[in-house]
Amino acid sequence: MAGVNKVILVGHLGADPEVKYLEGEKVVANLSLATSEAYQDRAGNRVEQTEWHDLELWDQQAKIAEKYLKKGSQIYVEGKIKSDKWTDEQGQNRKRMKIRVLSFTMLGGKPDGMASNPPAAAAANSAPVATAPQVSLDEGDDDLPF
């Protein structure tokens, strides 16, 4: 049986995209995305947890991200988990997980100073999402965070 490697995230950017232009007209953008969830613990206190995700976009998507995404932008992302392995200067083996973005949709209002409409390529490369997905936690009687 084949495996499934699919990630769906909705969150806010923690910084402006870091874009690098490589040889052969390749472009890569690295983004940091925060996702948060809140629940009540057993004592009735509200607990909020934030997870940070490293995102990687390539070529046309990277160019769109450079032009239209800013710190605080809310986006919907579909992608897959990818791991990088390397040996650092001290000879230590390192591993990092990131999300290779396959499509994204810009959510919320446009950031200050932005042109009125993003290019059609942004919509063509993104998942069809009319509004932000609604996530609700049925907290019920139990105190589990999920």
pLDDT tens-digit map of 46-95 = 999 999 999 999 999 999 999 999 999 999 999 999 999 999 999 999 99
Class of domain 7-38+48-124: mainly beta
Retrieve residue 58's tokens: 């390539």
Q: Is the pTM of this model over 0.85?
A: no
- Domain residue limits, the chain: 7-38+48-124
pLDDT tens-digit map of 90-125 = 999 999 999 999 999 999 876 555 555 555 444 434
Q: Measured between alpha carbons, how far is 146 from 143 in angstroms, rounded to an integer?
A: 9
Retrieve residue 78's tokens: 């579909």
